[in-house]
Structure formats: C-alpha cells, structure tokens
Amino acid sequence: MSEISDSKSPLWLRILQFPLTRLILLGGPVFYMMGVSNGLMVYFKGDSLKSVLAVVGMAALALIVYVGFARFIERRPVSELSLSGAAREWGIGALIGAGLYTACVLVLMAFGMYRIEGLNPWTFVIPAVAMALSSGMFEELIFRGLLFRSVEDLFGSWISLVVSSLVFGLVHLANPAGTLTGAIFISVEAGVLLAAAYMLTRRLWLSIGFHMAWNYTQSAIFSGIVSGSVAAPGLIRSNIRGPEVLTGGSFGLESSVIAFTLCTATGIVLLIMAVRRGNIVPPSWKRKG
C-alpha cells in the first residue's frame, strides 16, 4: 500500500507525489487513453483483430505511463501490478465474475424470464474481447489503482471505498441507456466488490479478472446489455422478459435485484476477509510516524 511522501523530499517532488496531484497528473492521461481506446473500438468495429490489437496497444501504453509515474515520481515499487501470482489472482477473479453472472442468468431461467432460443456461430464470442479488455484494464487502473489509492492515502480505506464506489457507479450514467437506478446499483454491487477485491489483495489482478469476465460473459456468451451500453449479439440467442426489478430492463442485469444481491454479498465477504487480514488503512491523521 502507498503512503504520503517523505517530508525530507524536495518540495516540488512532494507536490507531485501528493495524492490529489497524482490523481490529476496521472489520472488525466490514463482517462484520455481509455477514451482513445474506446474510440478505436468503434473505428475498427467489424474487424475484431484490429480492435483487440488497438486496445492492447493503448492498455500497454497506459500501464507504461502508470508504472513510470509510480517509479520515477512516487518512487515506490508498483506492488499493485506485481506479476508474481498475477495469473492466479486474475484467474480467480475471472471465475468469480463469470460465475456470478451465470448464477444471475440461472435465477432468471428458474423464473422463466430468460429463454434460450438458439445459438449463434462461435465467432460471435470474438467481438466482445476488445470491450472486456478495455473496461477491465482501464477502469481498474483508474477507479481502483488511482482513485481508490489516492483517496485512501488521505482519508483511509472506508472513505475511499465510499467515494470510489459512488464515482464508479455515477460515470455509468454517461452510457446510452444509463439510468440513476443502474448507477446506484453499480455503485454498491460492483463498486464495493471491486474495491474489496483490491483491499483484500492490495493488487489489481483480482478485480481486473472479475471485471473482464463479468463483462465478457454478459455480452459474448449471454447476449446481455453491459451497463446500459448498446446491446450486441453473443453466442446465445435469448429472449428476456419480466419486470425490470429482476431483469434490469434496458440497463442490463446490473440494474436487477438479483445481481445486486449476489454481487453485494460477495463484496461483503471479501471486505470481511480484508478486515481479518488487517488490510484496512486508517486516515492519514491517525497513522503513526
């Protein structure tokens, strides 16, 4: 975990290392690169290979900028992106993300609200790869790697959990079918779960794996609407009918009480595990030293 810079450092460096300065100087470029990545996905729509390559290129550039800032400005090891054990944590996160979304669909199927009408060709699972990569990498860098860490450095883990979750949910209002209900649901169910994943491991790979797998499973496998975005056909041709409180309506399953219940419960479990590991950071004024 990071700490506010040493008072023995030069004033100019302490200003650059200050959490809110970091959020602006590093968050701005990374957020811009996410916008470029999303724009390239639209530009290369219909050519999945170019779309994936464009996203990988922009994500790699964002990682270079992020790591460079941490090493040369913050002057700290970038432990949240350490490669040791990264594959295992990413895999666990991916299993949780895919499993939770599948569980939501199974509940809808049990209620007779999700009906499978057939299968599309397997190639329909390819286009969503770029979207899952972009959302998983960029949003976790921004909302957990930058926003959560910066607020936590000043105000501690609990305030950072609230702030990062609210901001994460509210930005989804910008999606084509964004709704206030969907934004609030995402703030709690996803904001808490993803922040808790970071708090538990103090690394980003678990949350990145969850984020990628949830979005990919939702779009590429079950043909669901991802957080109020434009719907795209996936592997399964489905017919979803039922009250919005259960189906999520035009926003997608994130706006349903089913996803809210399952994801929030998982997030609470991760939070309890983080507390038991002693991974809760107090506000800066309560720390020793």
pLDDT in tens, 156-198: 999 999 999 999 999 999 888 889 999 999 999 999 999 999 9
Tokens describing residue 134 = 């972009």
Q: Hey, how many other C-beta atoms are within 10 angstroms of the C-beta on 170?
A: 16
Max Cα distance, the chain (Å): 66
pLDDT in tens, 113-125: 999 999 999 999 9
pLDDT at 109 over 50: yes
Q: How confident is the model at residue 141 (pLDDT cuts 50, 70, 90)?
A: very high
- Specify the pairing of strand 236-240 against strand 114-119: antiparallel
Q: In Å, what is the CA distance from 39 to each residue of 166, 193, 264?
A: 25, 28, 32
Q: Which residues contact 47 (CB under 8 A, 6 or more apart)?
A: none
pLDDT at 3: 45
pLDDT at 7 over 60: no
Determine contact, residues 196/96, Cβ cutoff 8 Å.
no
Determine contact, residues 37/115, Cβ cutoff 8 Å.
no
Average pLDDT, the chain: 93
pLDDT in tens, 18-55: 999 999 999 999 999 999 999 999 999 889 999 999 99
pTM (predicted TM-score): 0.93
